[in-house]
């Protein structure tokens, strides 16, 4: 299982990056949006500071090797 992350990106870190690098009306793009952490961070930050940021989350389909079988 070394090939997998067992946790998503930290919401607090993403919020800090968004807050320091964007304006309250910007659009944030996450092109690796598997768990939706960026969307959660944007919504949370908008609620906190009355911002109107929007977000676009993109997750391209990835081929997944079958490692386990269900019985």
* 3 has a pLDDT exceeding 70: no
Q: Is residue 4 part of a domain?
A: no
Give the single-character DSSP code of 51: -
Q: Is residue 62 part of a domain?
A: no
Q: Is residue 15 part of a domain?
A: yes
Q: Is residue 50 part of a domain?
A: yes
pLDDT of 62? 72
Q: Is residue 65 part of a domain?
A: no
Q: Is residue 66 part of a domain?
A: no
- Give, in order, the Cα–Cα distances in Å from 66 to each of 8, 24, 50: 21, 43, 44
CA–CA gap between residue 60 and residue 71 (Å, rounded): 29
pTM above threshold 0.85: no
Number of domains within the chain:
1
Q: Is residue 29 part of a domain?
A: yes
* 69 has a pLDDT exceeding 80: no
Name the nearest CA neighbour of 8 among 31, 30, 28, 33: 33
């Amino acid at each position: 299982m070394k090939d997998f992350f067992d946790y998503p990106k930290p919401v607090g870190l993403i919020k800090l990056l968004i807050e320091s690098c964007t304006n309250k009306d910007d659009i944030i793009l996450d092109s690796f949006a598997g768990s939706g952490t960026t969307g959660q961070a944007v919504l949370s930050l908008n609620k906190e500071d009355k911002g109107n940021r929007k977000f676009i989350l993109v997750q391209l389909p990835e081929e997944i090797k079958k490692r386990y079988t269900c019985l």
